[in-house]
Amino acid sequence: MNNKSELLAEAFSGYLCNERRLSSHTCKSYAHDIHILLTQLACATLEQVQPQHIRQVIAQLHGKGLSGRSLARMLSAWRRFFHYLIRDHRFQHNPCTGMRVPKSQKKLPHALSPDETSQLLRFSDLDLLTIRDRAMFELFYSSGLRLAELTHLKPGDVDFLDGTVRVNGKGGKTRIVPVGKVAIDALQIWLKHQKKIARPGVTALFLSRHGKAISARTVSHRLKAHSRQQNILQNVHPHVLRHSFASHILQSSGDLRAVQEMLGHAHITSTQVYTHLDFQHLAKVYDVAHPRAKKK
């Protein structure tokens, strides 16, 4: 690809960040996907790209081991890129229109069992960082938050009287999510210490040891370290607590729509992946509910 293609890609990134006001993380993801397209295409210019060229790139990437989900995300970025080129740079067609990617086997989210979650959320030390971690992880599990949502929370986002938290989710959409009593208690204890170390001008709910807003990397590192201390063998990352929240609520209530609202999913299909239940739980439900299930 020539310099003009690279300039068009940069212009697209500027459009996403400055006009669409997408997050820096989203803009970087788009830029990465467009860069992959430009390096894989055999055409000299973007104007020459045809559907067969897009199919060829998809086949090459799939052959290198990229999953259907990753390819679908990339194709969506490419489609949006060409739509932008048609609108703002007089391109004539979108070669990604109607294109599909190979399907990959859908992997179920990993979730801890209720017992494992209880084990994870045990804390013995009472130092400052442990008090903070307990509040963070309890809130994670209590409300099913995304990592970015948690790190962007402010103290005023928690309503202790109502037992709720106001979350700014994907696409700038705000939702109100319940917070359990255990998490509320942990948050109240943390706030007593948080005020002592917060640096002037810092408005984040969760802070580093230096009084600044905590980073996503630090949250992940602390959770992994604590899970090892609690002798949990599985790989525990922040999204595991979100998965566990959704799975446990569904196992108890079966209310898919309510879980969709709490998770902040735009489409019910995103929530349906959490409807898996372990076989033992299904067997117990079957034995209790079905009139011919129990052996005599």
67 with 149, same domain: the answer is no
**Band of the pLDDT at 247, cuts 50, 70, 90?**
confident
Residue 200 lies in a domain: yes
The pLDDT of residue 103: 72
Contacts of 35 (CB under 8 A, 6+ apart): 9
Between 290 and 25, the higher pLDDT residue: 25
121 with 226, same domain: the answer is yes
Active site residue 20: no
Residue 284 lies in a domain: no
202 with 145, same domain: the answer is yes
The pLDDT of residue 265: 67
Active site residue 170: yes
- Residue (of 96, 71, 72, 74) closest to 85 by Cα position: 96
Residue 183 lies in a domain: yes
| Candidates 4, 170, 281, 284; catalytic one | 170
Return the residue matching tokens 């990229």: 66
Active site residue 265: yes
Full residue range of the structural domain in which residue 18 is found: 3-89
**Band of the pLDDT at 277, cuts 50, 70, 90?**
very low
**Band of the pLDDT at 282, cuts 50, 70, 90?**
very low
In angstroms, the Cα distances linking 257 to 124, 246, 269 are 37, 11, 11
Considering 89, 106, 140, which residue would you say is the last residue of a domain?
Answer: 89
The pLDDT of residue 68: 85
Give percent helix, percent strand, percent coil of the chain, each to the nearest 5: 60, 5, 35
Considering 89, 123, 146, which residue would you say is the last residue of a domain?
Answer: 89
The rounded percent of the chain whose pLDDT value lies above 70 is 84
pLDDT value at 63 more than 70: yes
Q: Residue length, the chain?
A: 296
The pLDDT of residue 43: 75
Task: Calculate mean pLDDT across residues 133-145.
Answer: 92
Highest mean pLDDT among 110-119, 207-216, 229-238: 207-216
In angstroms, the Cα distances linking 295 to 124, 151, 283 are 45, 51, 13
Q: Which residues, listed in sequence order, are joined to residue 166 by a DSSP beta bridge? A: 176
- Residue (of 158, 120, 123) closest to 237 by Cα position: 120
Residue 11 lies in a domain: yes
**Band of the pLDDT at 105, cuts 50, 70, 90?**
low
Considering 234, 265, 284, which residue would you say is the last residue of a domain?
Answer: 234
The pLDDT of residue 233: 82
Residue 66 lies in a domain: yes
202 with 160, same domain: the answer is yes
The pLDDT of residue 235: 86
**Band of the pLDDT at 266, cuts 50, 70, 90?**
low
* Spatial contact of 223 and 238, defined as CB atoms under 8 Å apart: yes
133 with 207, same domain: the answer is yes
pLDDT value at 259 more than 50: yes
Residue 199 lies in a domain: yes
Structural tokens at position 234: 């599985």
228 with 125, same domain: the answer is yes
Q: Give the separation between CA 61 and CA 55, rounded to whole angstroms.
A: 10
pLDDT value at 280 more than 70: no
| Candidates 80, 242, 243, 248; catalytic one | 242
In angstroms, the Cα distances linking 182 to 42, 127, 163, 203, 239 are 58, 18, 10, 24, 20
The pLDDT of residue 199: 92
Question: Phi, psi (5° rounding) for residue 164?
Answer: -135, 165
Structural domain count of the chain:
2
Q: Give the separation between CA 260 and CA 244, rounded to whole angstroms.
A: 14
**Band of the pLDDT at 241, cuts 50, 70, 90?**
confident
| Candidates 80, 132, 134, 146; catalytic one | 146
- Residue (of 219, 227, 277, 283) closest to 247 by Cα position: 277
The pLDDT of residue 244: 85
Which of 106-110, 154-158, 179-183 bottoms out in mean pLDDT, i.e. has the lowest? 106-110
SS (H, E, C) 221-270: HHHHHHHHHCCCCCCCCHHHHHHHHHHHHHHHHCCHHHHHHHHCCCCHHH
138 with 230, same domain: the answer is yes
Residue 263 lies in a domain: no
Residue 250 lies in a domain: no
Between 50 and 245, the higher pLDDT residue: 50
Which of 23-27, 92-96, 137-141, 266-270 bottoms out in mean pLDDT, i.e. has the lowest? 266-270
134 with 222, same domain: the answer is yes
The pLDDT of residue 102: 76
Active site residue 286: no
CATH number at residue 203: 1.10.443.10
Burial class, 259, CB count within 10 angstroms (exposed 0-12 / middle 13-18 / buried 19+): buried
CATH number at residue 38: 1.10.150
143 with 76, same domain: the answer is no
Active site residue 79: no
The pLDDT of residue 278: 43
Question: Phi, psi (5° rounding) for residue 293?
Answer: -80, -40
225 with 126, same domain: the answer is yes
12 with 78, same domain: the answer is yes
Cα angle for residues 141, 145, 147 (degrees, 5° grid): 105
150 with 53, same domain: the answer is no
Between 27 and 105, the higher pLDDT residue: 27
